[in-house]
Amino acid sequence: MTEALVVTVIAVILLAWLIQRRLSQTPVDTFYDLSDGERKPHKWGYTDTVFEFDGPRSVRVTGSRYPLAGYSMPAFIPFAEEALGVPITPEEMMPEPPPQVPPAPCDHAGFDAALREQLDDDQVSITDTDRLVHSHGQLSVDEIYRLLYLGALGRVVDRVLYPQSEDDVRHIVTTAAAHGVCLVPYGGGTNVSGALILPQDEERVIASVDMRRMNHILSLDEENQQATVEAGISGKVLERELGALGFTSGHDPDSVELSTLGGWIATNASGMKKNRYGNIEDIVLEATLVTPAGDVETFHATPRNSTGVPPRVWLFGNEGNFGIITKATIKVHPSPEAREYGLLVFPQFDVGVRFLKQLRHEGGLPASIRLVNNNESRFGQALKSTPTAMKSLMGKVQKFVLYTLKGFDPLRMVACTIVMEGTRREVAQQKKIIFNLAKSYGGMSGGAHNGRNGYMLTFGIAYIRDFFNQFHIMGETFETSVPWNRIHQVTGAVEKQLHQQCKARSVRGTPYLAYRVTQTYHTGVCIYFTMGFSGKGLDQPDAVYHEIEAGLRQAILDNGGSLSHHHGIGKIRAGFLTQIQSEASLQVLRETKRAVDPDNIFGARNGPLADAAK
Amino acid sequence: MTEALVVTVIAVILLAWLIQRRLSQTPVDTFYDLSDGERKPHKWGYTDTVFEFDGPRSVRVTGSRYPLAGYSMPAFIPFAEEALGVPITPEEMMPEPPPQVPPAPCDHAGFDAALREQLDDDQVSITDTDRLVHSHGQLSVDEIYRLLYLGALGRVVDRVLYPQSEDDVRHIVTTAAAHGVCLVPYGGGTNVSGALILPQDEERVIASVDMRRMNHILSLDEENQQATVEAGISGKVLERELGALGFTSGHDPDSVELSTLGGWIATNASGMKKNRYGNIEDIVLEATLVTPAGDVETFHATPRNSTGVPPRVWLFGNEGNFGIITKATIKVHPSPEAREYGLLVFPQFDVGVRFLKQLRHEGGLPASIRLVNNNESRFGQALKSTPTAMKSLMGKVQKFVLYTLKGFDPLRMVACTIVMEGTRREVAQQKKIIFNLAKSYGGMSGGAHNGRNGYMLTFGIAYIRDFFNQFHIMGETFETSVPWNRIHQVTGAVEKQLHQQCKARSVRGTPYLAYRVTQTYHTGVCIYFTMGFSGKGLDQPDAVYHEIEAGLRQAILDNGGSLSHHHGIGKIRAGFLTQIQSEASLQVLRETKRAVDPDNIFGARNGPLADAAK
């Protein structure tokens, strides 16, 4: 190295350190824009945010809602074309199709009249848009792609109801039971298990019960660190309101801006910061479920109980089969005194996994730590802007250190994003343990700023899904929990299966597969996969996609993974249930269903009820 | 102070510090004697251990099983007499009554013949002792005192069955269903909710299913830190066998020597070290429940799932109503690298509570931390031996420091026992946080040795209960979980209620009440009460005791406590269920019961089934 280069390297390192230092002292805030916005009717998220071409070979995200927004990304299209092996150009893009027109809603004068005894005019809607919006979740292929680009319109709800109180909900349930109407609870509409897909042969009037007007914190008990909250509250509103009072729930699923408390409970949600705050079953102390047989609830939330089989067990994972969750008492935490981000780079995935396992043993777990594989790490890199001269230089230095000095292989190296929260002492302690341990695994710090961006990327990903859909590129995420010693077996089997299946079905180009470890547990981890391939030129691309996805799920199960870590069963994974549970288990669930809802008013038929007669 | 005193004080402090240092470096072991022993048929524990007079005014514990054993305790009788206001002398003691003879067991040749198709001769017992032993748990008054001293003999089981495999259990369940026989699962026999009390009007043959021969670790998966274990294993055998392999379950309920894995699940057990290892629902990943409708189980234990309502929810708190738990997959942990004990003394109870709450916030929670009130602290002191000259001097110095220099009031000060486990770094870190924080609450260290003894006292307490029973002193423990801001309200209400009730019922002497915080949670704590009073001279002392206990439980509920933290509902708390759960909740449980056991083969009638028809 020349002297000039040495000086430059030192200067850059100093600068990077200063930037990191400043960032690590950023005051604690939420990870996403807390402002409300207009929702897209079918695609993911807000109308202000679109992932689109801003030149023939570059893309950008509109608006200013996400850190990803407002700049041109010159590397993304080349990366995606290389990864998928198909052209992605403005010419290949499908035009936005005209909105679909659903059939007229079924009449039921008796039900409508009885509803109006309690509900106001604006609490019942039969508009086409409302009905369509409430007839699907966010499965990329089965719901969004089919609806928008294949013109496939399944059963559509006949009414959308907007209860504003628990009494409204009780009235709706009682009235539906009296008039033989089918109800489907609706939260944030972000479900990705097909739970909101309506049974095609349902002949009764179907009413969607949109819970989002029930979005208030009913009481905050600061001394006991708990709050009772209406179940229709979204994660964003919950955090905004709790934050104003100096508290947080700590629950941070990828869908946190849109999904609701009731939905989290119904699907067994997992938040990114579960190491500190727990998954939804750890956060919710008690909740109320309104069923046709009455309210299932415990009257007071006490810290921990041995009172037989508790009512709360009917709530987690009910997937809308049993009733409507109206409110829950949840743990809340004082807003953390400190938050810091981190990024670690490891030479390869299995080293990162060993590091994660050892970190649990050392007892220095941060609120969130996620390990992305090489593909996903490069995907993140491809979302960067054109570098400034300074950044370009820094990048070169970084690459020199990584690839030349440290000998990392750019096609094997992986990254780990870290969020540390707590008291200042806790954060300092975690930081020390994490970074010391990382060294002994050959890990290198990639900077707090990159850690922060990596964490927040999560909230922008689904917009990219909608961009790809326009090119018949069918992408989906799916997840599993896996014992520690099966991680590489499962990821390897999924990768092999995906390539074989795509080849066998003459899929154009190359399938893309990325994965990350999003959660660690005592006995294993959650692996979150992202896959995509071109459906162009395929007869029935959605059917082909389905067969491929089913093959991947089977590969996961065959190699020791679980049926789902947090997405749920709904309809798309119901066929696998008999592989994981005994017949008697499923039978008990069906009998439980009969106990609370003998007439199947909640007729969405998810999980073990997927094949149940009405 | 004279110079000599100053020198002595310094010398003693130095000595105490050296002793503590040595003790804090004691290698990690279990907290109780791992050797087997002969069980007493009805009283608590092992025949080698008896709490008895060794002089007219002093007592001792026989054998060498507990740290409490083998020395004379001169302070105990004076303390107890003062606390209870009644004489406790050898003359007052009732003689051990002759063993009861139960009625002959009901015949059922068809059942017996069908059983023998699978079971050997030694797997079926109809001896009087076996039948009597299996017809009760360990409620002090309702079960032990009534059986031994009031001669009250309720319904007794007709058969005791000893399955040795899951197939044996399936055969027993199928055969019982085919022949209309009632089954009651039996684990360690340590239940304290009346769950083993048999319905007096049960006309079918009743068979107790003693699971203790199913006590093997079926597989240990070191890499994923989990083990599959037969449900009849006791805590002691589990820890002995896991320990030999370098692992621990970390589950440490007071009854750990005797109680079983299946029993822990059936009653929602809580271990003393739950801060590190979790309560039973955190430890058990999956389990198998054999029911008349088939096996309820998940085929593979994966780290965390969202697969609808999981089968595991039928297990925790089932209290023997649904079937028999045959095996479970549990988390295991490498034996901790380090363990240290500690004792802290605080000027009064509410200061200790504030310290505990802040310690949670600071993130330095040890495996176990328990705060005993003044009465319980003095009870512990009363169990000491006659001090040596050195100890006597040390005691005087300690008292001088505590009462004179620090101004602690001996009738108000409280103690906190601490067990820290983990890596050396973790233990050192916890110690630093705990003792620094304690200082700011006016706390003082009482020495690691005393902390260790305080923790281990737990295992000897029930023997003292049996000692008192002989004087018609009816003592019992009961527990609740309470939000942080209701702790003093609940303890105050229980204290007031106990005194009022005893006065109103002309109970001799003074009732004794001690309590401790045994667990802390995010939203509150577990309070564990010990009470006792003399039943001598009362008409129907057990009935009076019952009314008083019910009054205390109502006071707990009225002031914001829960119905039970870890003892369960069984029969003695079933009457309160409608105060804590909605009718629909209870109805769902009854319907669930019908789904797995339509003919009520598991007819123990606990919890919501306490009033159910056969």
Beta strands B159-161; B206-210: pairing state: parallel
Closest approach of A410 to chain B, Cα-based (Å): 30
Rounded Cα distance, A49 and A51, in Å:
7
Contacts of B304 in chain A (CB under 8 A): 270, 279, 481, 519, 521, 526, 562, 565-566
Do residues B421 and B427 make contact, with C-beta atoms less than 8 angstroms apart? yes
> Which residue in A302, A423, A562 is closest to B562 by CB distance?
A302
A284-309 tens-digit pLDDT = 999 999 999 999 999 999 999 999 99
Give residues with Cβ within 8 angstroms of A521, minimum separation 6. A481, B303, B304
Q: Mean pLDDT across the stretch B332-360?
A: 97
pLDDT at B244 over 80: yes
Nearest-CA distance B182 → chain A (Å): 20
Tell me if A511 sits within 8 A of A85, measured CB to CB.
no
CA quadruple B481, B487, B490, B492: dihedral, nearest 10: 150
Per the CB < 8 Å rule, is A587 touching B607?
Answer: no
Q: Are A445 and A342 in contact (CB under 8 A)?
A: yes
Does residue A1 surpass a pLDDT of 70?
Answer: no
Neighboring chain B residues of A569 at a CB cutoff of 8 Å: 306-308
Q: Considering the candidates A162, A186, A463, A528, report the single residue annotated as catalytic.
A: A528
Numbers of helices and strands, H then E, in chain A: 20, 20
Phi then psi dihedrals of residue A587, to 5 deg: -65, -40
Q: Residue B476: which residues within 8 A CB-CB, separation 6 or more?
A: B139, B140, B141, B465, B530, B531, B532, B545, B549
Q: Do B304 and A270 touch (CB under 8 A)?
A: yes
Distant-in-sequence, close-in-space partners of A156: CB < 8 Å, separation ≥ 6 = A102, A103, A131, A132, A135, A198
Nearest by CB to A595, from B223, B224, B587: name it. B587
- For B419-428, the pLDDT digits (tens) are 999 999 999 9
**Residue B405: is it exposed, middle or buried by C-beta count within 10 angstroms (0-12/13-18/19+)?**
exposed
Instruction: Please judge whether A565 and B304 are an interchain contact, meaning their C-beta atoms are less than 8 angstroms apart.
Output: yes
R_g (Cα) of chain B, nearest Å: 25
User: Could you tell me if B289 and B297 are in contact, meaning their C-beta atoms sit under 8 angstroms apart?
Assistant: yes
Alpha carbon distance A536, B350 (integer Å): 70
State the nearest Cα–Cα gap between B134 and chain A, in angstroms. Answer: 22
A449-453, A517-521, B474-478, B598-602: segment of lowest average pLDDT: A449-453
User: For residue B320, which residues of chain A lie inside 8 Å, CB to CB?
Assistant: none
The tokens for B385 are 């031996």
Taking the CB of residue B540, how many other CB atoms lie within 10 A of it?
11
B59-72 per-position pLDDT tens digit: 999 999 998 899 99
Q: Using only C-alpha atoms, what is the Rg of chain A?
A: 25
pTM: 0.94
**Measured on CA atoms in the order B260, B261, B264, B266, is the torsion positive or negative?**
negative
Q: Confidence class of residue B613 from pLDDT cuts 50, 70 and 90?
A: very low
B contacts of A362 (beta carbons < 8 Å): 423, 425-426
Picking from B302, B422, B566, the nearest residue to A481 by CB comes out as B302
- pLDDT > 70? residue B576: yes
Q: Do A569 and B423 touch (CB under 8 A)?
A: no
Average pLDDT over chain B, rounded to an integer: 93
Question: What is the crossing angle of helices A448-457 and A374-382, to 10°?
Answer: 100
For residue B29, what are the contacts with CB-CB under 8 A and spacing of at least 6?
A: none
pLDDT at res. B584: 93
CA distance B55 to B280: 43
Lowest model confidence (mean pLDDT) among A331-335, B144-148, B607-611:
B607-611
- CA of A269: which chain B residue's CA is closest? B306
Q: What letter represents residue A352's amino acid?
A: G
pLDDT at B7: 65
Q: A297 near A291, Cβ under 8 Å? A: no
**Chain A nearest-CA residue for B556:** A302
Contacts of B577 in chain A (CB under 8 A): 307-308
CA-CA distance, B229 to B244, in Å (whole number)? Answer: 15
| Angstroms from B408 CA to nearest CA on chain A | 28
Rounded distance, CA A324 to CA A230, Å?
A: 11
pLDDT of residue A15: 65
Percent of chain B with pLDDT over 90: 83
pLDDT at A11: 65
Predicted pLDDT of residue B194: 97
The partner residue sitting opposite B314, judged by closest CB among A267, A588, A606, is A588
Nearest chain B residue (CA) to A266: B308
Q: Is B429 left (phi over 0), alpha (psi -120 to 50) or beta?
A: alpha
Active site residues of B: 528
Average pLDDT score over residue span B106-119: 97
Structure confidence at residue B614 (pLDDT) = 36
Q: What are the pLDDT digits (tens) for B289-308? A: 999 999 999 999 999 999 99
Partners of B301 on chain A (C-beta within 8 Å) are 523
Residues B307, A279: C-beta atoms closer than 8 Å? no
Which residue from B154, B123, B147 is spatially nearest to B604, judged by alpha carbons?
Answer: B154
Alpha-carbon span A529 to A515, nearest angstrom: 4
Q: Count CA within 13 A, CB hemisphere, residue B178.
A: 13
Confidence check: pLDDT of A56 > 60? yes
Tokens of A327: 């409110």
pLDDT digits (tens, 9 = 90+) for A534-543: 999 999 999 9
At B104, the pLDDT band (50, 70, 90 cuts) reads: very high
pLDDT at residue number B33: 86
What SS3 state is found at A182? Answer: strand
- Would you say B298 and B225 are in contact if contact means Cβ atoms under 8 Å apart? no
Kindly report, residue by residue over A12-40, the tens digit of the pLDDT: 666 666 555 554 444 445 678 888 999 99
All residues of chain B having their beta carbon less than 8 Å from the beta carbon of residue A297 are 581-582, 585
Residue B448: CB partners within 8 Å, gap ≥ 6?
Answer: B20, B23, B24, B340, B341, B342, B343
Average pLDDT over residues B530-551: 95
Q: Give the model's pLDDT for residue B359.
A: 97
Nearest to B492 by CA among B532, B547, B544, B552: B552
All residues of chain A having their beta carbon less than 8 Å from the beta carbon of residue B523 are 224-226, 285, 301-303, 331
How confident is the model at residue A613, as a pLDDT?
A: 40
pLDDT for B457 equals 84
Average pLDDT over residues B244-267: 97
3-state helix, strand, coil in chain A (%, to 5): 40, 20, 40
Q: Tens digit of pLDDT for each residue in A344-361? A: 999 999 999 999 999 999
Q: Which residue in the set A307, A309, A580 is minimally distant from B314, CB to CB?
A: A309
Chain-chain contact of B523 with A317 (C-beta, under 8 angstroms): no
* Residue to test with chain A: of B166, B248, B302, B429, most A Cβ within 10 A: B302
pLDDT above 60 (res B21): no
Q: CB–CB of A291 and B584 under 8 A?
A: yes
First and final CA of chain B: distance in angstroms?
Answer: 76
| ipTM score of complex | 0.93
Please state, in angstroms and rounded to a whole number, the distance separating the CA atoms of residues B109 and B113.
Answer: 6
Q: How confident is the model at residue A599 (pLDDT cuts 50, 70, 90)?
A: very high
Kindly indicate the confidence band of residue B28, based on its pLDDT and cuts at 50, 70 and 90: very low
Q: How many angstroms separate the CA of residue A482 from the nearest CA in chain B?
A: 6
Q: Which residues of A touch B309 (CB under 8 A)?
A: 313-314, 316-318, 589, 592, 607
Whether the pLDDT of residue B151 is over 90: the answer is no
Whether residue A110 has pLDDT greater than 70: yes
Mean pLDDT of A492-505: 97
More confident residue, B495 or A395: B495
Which among A306, A425, A579, A611 is the top mutation candidate for probing chain B, defined by the most B β-carbons within 10 Å of its own β-carbon? A306
pLDDT in tens, A370-400: 999 999 999 999 999 988 888 888 888 888 8
Q: Average of pLDDT values for A162-183?
A: 98
Q: How near does any CA of chain B get to the CA of A445, in Å?
A: 23
Q: Which two tokens stand for residue B58?
A: 């002093």
User: ∠A533-A535-A540 over CA atoms, to 5°?
Assistant: 140
Instruction: State the Cα–Cα distance between residues B471 and B334, nearest whole angstrom.
Output: 46
Asked if the Cβ–Cβ distance from A585 to B297 is below 8 Å, we say yes
